[in-house]
Chain A
Amino acid sequence: MKSYKKIAVLLTALGIMGVSGCKKVLDQTPKSNVTPDVLASAGGVIGGITGVYSDLRNLWGTEGFLYYTNFGVDETLAGGGASNGGVAFATYKNYTNNVSDVYNALGGVFNIAYQDINTLNGVLQYGPAAFADVPTRTAYLAQAKFLRAFYYFHLVQTFGAVPLHTTFINTATLSDSRAPVADIYAQIIKDLTEASTELQNKPGDNGSPFAGHAATKATALYLLSKAYLTRGWSSAAQPTDFQNALTTAQTLITNKGTYGVDLYQNYADAYTPANDVTNKEDLFAIEHSTDTKYGDFTPGASGGKINGWAYFFRPNYPTVTANYPTSSGASVMTRDLANGRPFFRVRPNYDYVNNVAFADRTNDYRYWNTFQTTWIANTANVTTPRGSLVVGADTAIWMPPADPGAAKRASFKGVIFLSPSVAATATGTNINPSNTTFFPSLKKFDDPNRPSVNDPSSRPVVLFRFSEIYLIAAEAAFKLNDLATAANMINVLRTRAAFRTTNMPADAVAKMQVSPGQITLDFILDERTRELYGESLRWWDLTRTQSLVRRVKQYNTEAGPNIQDFMTLRPIPQTEINLVTQGPPIPQNPGF
């Protein structure tokens, strides 16, 4: 009986302990996740800005974004490997309603932009409390201003009027409205004007964590100039816009020494991997590295936050057979690091590229610096009907921009592809029309330093190049009817374009010069292709200059029949329209 009493006492004690186990059980203390109040700390400000930089990797460099930035213009056509959604962007067919297409980039850019803008608004709202040191605070917060303007500029060019938020949203709402285009531009210009005086001169100045290819005063000046230029063309145009665009561009050019930016003598040097770290033409880039964490690097990845620019423009060279066009015989090439992973998502629009933009390939060396047209044999024991290919010596595939002639073709051991219009009129043997699979490759983004042939590139994805500021200035001057300044600006680039390390024609530089009388809008646009082919700018260059529909109809046989006047804006993503359920609905852009 004694023992049972003891046990009874013990049980009662335990029970009471349980009762008094107190309300602490209901307390919440997170230990593995971060809540929004962190934005009021120095780590939160730097982290918030870093988070936005990292988020950019979801856009430029990815496949979905490629379609949206490079398709449906005059200079490119879809490659055979493009997804249905990609083809929709390329042809303006069904491209708003691909509800089931993962590559529907429009939803992606919209979501990411506003997610980043809200984080930046949080940084700008709570960040001032985080720093005692005013210069540090000013320079860091200027990053947020720049990035916010960067996103709004991209949104307004793409979608027109969009919601404009400049304060942090911490409580969800189901209502929103599209702000006038003029208000959005005003905010962009305000943010960029401030950022262009507050940002660091050079990346990493004064121990700033924003090193590498982060935004600087030069970046802000470039974007401010382009924002003025774009607004000048737009419905929200101010009378001073083109002059401001030109002045801002000239400010950047004048102070290039201060900002450590300049043109290389050789166009190719602006694109060589050797210069990636210190590229002086690079004003702003999204960085990548082979680090799994900081570089978001995954071996063999083709999706996610990758730089796929080294994949997308490559033809499917490993499937060219020795007896092409019949599929018999061995493949003449094997996939390797030098020639890259063939994704064939984008191909050049040959007739425009070869015959219009790069018609002069003698004096202007940019064609040869832009395209790979030869593939050197890398596979043993390959014999075509014209002979055996010697590894490392013979050219296995050749895609000349013009017909080399029947005799040369007959004696060429490898396989020749010509642009379809040239192939149609050529006679003799070894004539194959380029198609969606086999076409000259864009080589500016090649990355032979990848660990493995299927790995994504870890080169920076350059968004703004210093050379473009001359084209911006030229376009502004053209709109101000100052054709002399426009010609001067363009000639800076054309002089450089003539340069090559060997066999440069003596009169090349002279022949490249243009006179004020030659400056037209189309000339400027063609010059943009020559200078910046494939750099994810074209659709906005054409929409800004109100040339998209005209030039697509003129040059792009696949998209021309489908494009309509209203397609100079993209449709507001349907999710935004569907989910604004309180207050007035969000109207769709006309025509969609």
Chain B
Amino acid sequence: MNWKMLILLLSMSVFSISLYAQTRKLAGTVTDDKGLTLVGATVKLKSGRLATSTDANGKFSISVTTNETAILVTYLGYVDQEVPISASSENITIKLSASARNLNDVIVVGYGTQRKKDVTGAVASVSAASLQEVPAPNVVDQLKGRVAGLDITSTSTTPGAVGQIRLRGERSFATSNTNANNQNGPLFVVDGIPLIGGSLNDINQNDITSVDILKDASAAAIYGSRASGGVIIITTKRGKSGKAVISYDGYYGIGHITDEYPLMDGAQFAAFKRESIAGNSSATSPNSTAYPFTPAELAGIANGTSTDWQKFIFRTAFSTDHQLNISGGNENTQFSISTGFHKEKGVQYGQDFDRGSLRAAIDHTISSRVKVGLTTLQTLTHTNGADLFPLYNTSAISPLTSPYNADGSINLLPMTGSVDQPNRVNPLTIRNPSIQDLNRKLYSFNTLYGEVKIVDGLKYRFNAALTYGQNQGNNYSPVNTTYNTATSPSQTNESVNNTENYTWLLENILTYDKTFGQKHHLTFTGLYSTEKDHSQGLQVYGVGMPADYLQSYNLFLANQVNFSATNQPNFADRGLISYMARVNYAFNERYLVTATVRTDGSSVLDPKHRYYTYPAFAFGWNIDRENFMKNVSFVNSLKLRAGYGVTADQNVSPYQILGNLSSNAYNFGSNGQNGYLVTNLSSSLKFEHTNNYNLGVDFGLFNDRLTGSVDVYQQKTYDILQVQSLPPSNGAGSTTVNAGNSKGKGLEISLSSINIRSSNGFSWSTDFNIAFARNSIVSLHDNLKADITNGWFVGQPFNVIYDYKKIGIWQTSEAAQAAVYGQRPGQIKVQDVNNDGKINASDLQILGSYQPDYTGGITNRFTFKGFDLSLVTFARMGQKVAVTYLGSDSGAQGYPFFNQGRVNQINVNYWTPTNPTNDFPRPDANLSGATYASTLQYRDGSFIKMRSINFGYTFSGESMKKAGFRSLHIYATCTNPFIIYSPLVKSGLAVDPEGNGFGNQIAGASSFSTDALGRAVTVGLNNPMVRTFQLGVNAKF
């Protein structure tokens, strides 16, 4: 071991040299750009002779010699700073600016960490500081628009909703939005443990220190069979040695809907209904309607009634959030304990969300060889009203009617006298306090580790994780309300459900980390793990309760108790056994090689194909370390990365391969019998897998004032697990098969720049990211060119619009031409593609895709003295969006657009003989939905939105210290302040271009579940986006 001796000698000589120089003590404080002190920042002499770190107050003291010219200050998540010193330098304050990307940062790469410098895969990191710029109830909301290639789409605006997440687009065929999320969504890993059965709502966003996103397969392959959608690793806070730090973070906010839906007012609706009568296309009863004005409506016309029903369901929302954390410790033991409380009162009456959490992380070093630790997290959340959608019923009510009767009582049935009388109950009834749509969730996440250094460089670590989640649902719908229009007290609806899941995971990890001959750095990681996921649930429904206050707590008292055929009790177990080995080799910190191999065994696949092995290789070249770069002074770092890897997907339900009988029931007279039907045929399934190539470059220029990454990738997915629709004559509608391929490619650019850093304390920095992702289907099952039933077409993205193409409205002058197609002026004119004088299936065409051309975001931060301002902007451009309330057909499918003039409408520009528009067709009292109405809903979904504006001030000075504060920061934030660009919103047909649900969103929608529209995030009649204003404080004691 000569080299060891050499190092020893060398370091001794360094010390001995320093003894000869004149030394003095230099003291100082390290703070962030808001002036908050940074604990544990590294302060190093530029000569490299000495290093120290800041104490619990952010202070340091270091011995410097007279010939020392500068000190180097580094801190995780901040830009390194070199501070010149002179002989007179004393008690200096060093401000570090936050950076999302710093090559010395430690990146969590799965089963270990690496310095950013040594990483070979495409990995993006977001620091806690960046996340906190957007105060939101969960981390998904905070990540929106922050990482290139991470596309987060809103799917709901109810409190506690988590959006749809796609990393580098979609890869797998899925027939429903749920399947699409399961198959294409990323794997979340919290502190090394896959988050199964938990939701991101269960993780308190304030407990997070960093989020690392493994984008390419060379990085993600170590998570094998669940990594094809990418991996998002969340690391939570741990204690640091030093005096205990108490921190409090809190905010209070209010919110309003950004706008109401643009419905017709009283006069507009009256005109619309009259036009529907004039436009009645019935040969036998022209100029008539089956839905005439009711007496109340006629009175409303006479006295100018115009009720805005929407205002009765929305209110001012408020949210409040309080987080308390205490962390500290000594050399042997570090701890971090925290508690948090978050509460939101939603904009819609009856919607609430709250979460309380307790967390503790303890690390204890027993000896130089043994270390143990524990992380435990408990959360209790209540979500109320997430499935209550009163907007459709509310918007359908005639604005010519009044919410209150003359005597001041509630006008329970405003549509009295019309066929809709019993279905359109006054929306004021949603405020009935007995209404219950409550989901209580208890989630417990616990990990325990023990680490033993066996010999120098060789470490064995054992992780055991146990997570448990329990959902208790209670639902109650009293009668005579919007949610239960029945009138008899015996027809209340109630239900309770209880689902639970647990996961246990045992991991054995062996790590060998050694540097040989100074230049050869080798790390080996070996893993063996077993995991079992269990879930089971029970749902019981009741009809009729003796009293509303009982709600759903004692179903024994219900008139009838039953189980639901569509929501049966369930039981599922799935198991996973994994072996993994990874080697990282770095030569002279210049050339980096990573090789990984993992094998997974899954319980849900055919026993013949239940194991799959994934290789991954990656190379990195730190060009900046090369001699020829020495003189290129503006380049601080430059790295080239290339990687190839395989990931896989086993996302099928347990037991699916065995075939399945659905069950129903029947009464033979009074004799009740259970029945079964063969609805799923058995199948043999294996792993779906994705091969991914990634080429990337990371750079830091101009003293790291401009840092960034550029990645290009290509991926191909094979043996896609997909539901294959069968000819109905098979007797079963579908089966699951491994078939079809898809491909994707993309370009991702991330840049961070410090634009201005002036001596007067003003600084301006910008984070920018943009991603172009293109995914398409390469082949379908059985060499099909198109699977129309599921909306898949070779060469196209997964979700496309396949419909007739609206080319206008038939005008009066075109009556003869319209008649060829059995139509008449005022109706929608669609393109007759093959000009055969008939509109039929051969005229359907692909009209666009729900895939954006590009997504991106810009965050600008300004600081001046104690003030800080950040602006977060994000964009999705070039995609189509379906605005379902503009085009849905009548009845169960969705909003009954036009519907014989029966319900109130979006205030659209419709055709009349005197208004020959090409926008919307003529209302027709004879038609429940306009012919080809679906063509009206496809709109340009592009948008640029200001996500949040955050303005803060940091108090400093002695008075604060005397008051006991280590630091104090107050801020005001506005989320969703305004939309910068959206052709859809500009057209006046929608409030917000972001989605708020899937497919046709109206309760009871039954069709369209398998086609592209059913999977797409759509703009429907659901709660509008909420604009919030928050005031908050971050304090440390």
Contact = CB atoms under 8 A, between A and B. Distances in A.
Interface of A: 1, 3-4, 7-8, 10-12, 14-15, 17-19, 21, 23-36, 38-39, 44, 46-55, 57, 80-84, 93-94, 96-97, 99-103, 107, 110-111, 114-119, 121-122, 162-163, 165, 168-174, 176, 203-204, 209-214, 277, 287-289, 291-296, 299-300, 303, 316, 318-319, 321, 327-331, 335, 342, 344, 420, 435-437, 451-454, 558, 573-576, 578-582, 586
B669 A111 contact: no
A176 B729 contact: yes
B660 A211 contact: no
A162 B729 CA distance: 9
22 contacts: A7-B450, A19-B508, A25-B577, A25-B603, A28-B603, A35-B660, A35-B661, A48-B678, A50-B674, A51-B666, A84-B890, A102-B1007, A115-B731, A168-B678, A172-B732, A211-B671, A318-B417, A435-B284, A435-B288, A436-B284, A578-B788, A579-B725
Interface string B593-622: 000000001111001001000000000000
A530 to B, nearest CB: 25
Contacts of B889: 83-84, 100-102
Interface stretch (B303-311, B525-533, B632-640, B862-870): B525-533
A173 B782 CA distance: 11
Q: SS class of chain B's interface: helix, strand, loop or mixed? A: mixed
Contact of B678 (A83, A115, A295, A316): A115
A210 B789 CA distance: 38
B568 A32 contact: yes
Given A53-B668, A114-B731, A35 B658 contact: yes
Contacts of B604: 28
Interface in B666-684: 666-679, 681-683
B279 to A, nearest CB: 15
9 smallest CB-CB distances across A and B, nearest first, come from: A118-B731, A212-B669, A51-B675, A25-B575, A18-B506, A50-B675, A294-B672, A437-B290, A327-B292
A320 to B, nearest CB: 10
A51 B677 contact: yes
Contact of B452 (A11, A80, A288): A11
A17 B681 contact: no
A277 B669 contact: yes
A440 B663 CA distance: 40
Interface string B557-569: 0001011010011
Interface in B514-569: 528-532, 536, 541, 543, 560, 562-563, 565, 568-569
Contacts of B434: none
B658 A28 contact: yes
Nearest to B672: A294
A300 B664 contact: no
B367 interface: yes
A50 B727 contact: no
Contacts of B369: 4, 8
Contacts of A331: 294-295, 417
Nearest to B537: A32
A321 B292 CA distance: 9
Contacts of B530: 18, 21, 25
A575 B790 CA distance: 11
Contacts of B565: 293
Contacts of A118: 678, 730-732
A50 B659 contact: no
Contacts of B507: 18
Contacts of B284: 420, 435-436, 558
A392 B677 CA distance: 49
B485 interface: yes
B462 A165 contact: no
Given A36-B678, A50-B676, 5 more contacts: A14-B464, A53-B668, A122-B678, A292-B543, A582-B782
Interface in B357-390: 366-367, 369-370, 372
A303 to B, nearest CB: 6
A52 B841 contact: no
B490 A17 contact: no
Contact of A102 (B298, B418, B891): B891
Contact of B668 (A8, A214, A328): A214
A169 B782 contact: no
A165 B731 contact: yes
Given A18-B530, A176-B729, A316-B290, A97 B283 contact: no
A111 B728 contact: yes
Given A48-B676, A50-B666, A102-B893, A169 B681 contact: yes
A4 B366 contact: yes
B interface, how many residues as a size bin? 35 or more
Contacts of B452: 8, 11
B285 interface: yes
Given A15-B462, A293-B672, A436 B732 contact: no
A80 B731 CA distance: 36
A26 B666 contact: no
B669 A80 contact: no
B668 A451 contact: no
A292 B562 contact: yes
Nearest to B487: A452
B290 A452 contact: no
Nearest to B843: A97
B676 A174 contact: no
B758 interface: no
Interface in B23-76: none
Nearest to A347: B284
B409 interface: no
A54 B733 contact: no
B181 interface: no
Contact of B671 (A212, A303, A451, A575): A212
B314 interface: no
B339 interface: no
Interface stretch (B260-268, B468-476, B924-932): B924-932
A212 B822 contact: no
B673 A209 contact: yes
Contacts of A211: 668-671
Contact of B528 (A18, A24, A55, A586): A18
A289 B782 contact: no
A93 B821 CA distance: 10
A577 B278 CA distance: 41
B87 interface: no
A17 B576 CA distance: 16
A32 B570 contact: yes
A1 B367 CA distance: 7
Interface in B716-737: 724-733, 735, 737
Nearest to B729: A163
B312 interface: no
Contact of A54 (B285, B487, B675, B891): B675
Contacts of B248: none
A46 B571 contact: no
A213 B669 contact: yes
B293 interface: yes
B847 interface: no
Contact of B292 (A34, A299, A319, A420): A319
Contacts of A321: 292, 295
A212 B460 CA distance: 70
Contacts of B1007: 102
Interface in B430-463: 450, 452, 460, 462
Among the interface residues A7, A288, A299, A574, which one has the most CB atoms of the partner chain B within 10 A? Answer: A299
A36 to B, nearest CB: 5
A53 B679 CA distance: 15
Given A25-B530, A27-B603, A50-B665, A34 B366 contact: no
Nearest to A164: B729
Contacts of A102: 889, 891-893, 1006-1007
B667 A291 contact: yes
B502 to A, nearest CB: 14
A228 to B, nearest CB: 26
A448 to B, nearest CB: 15
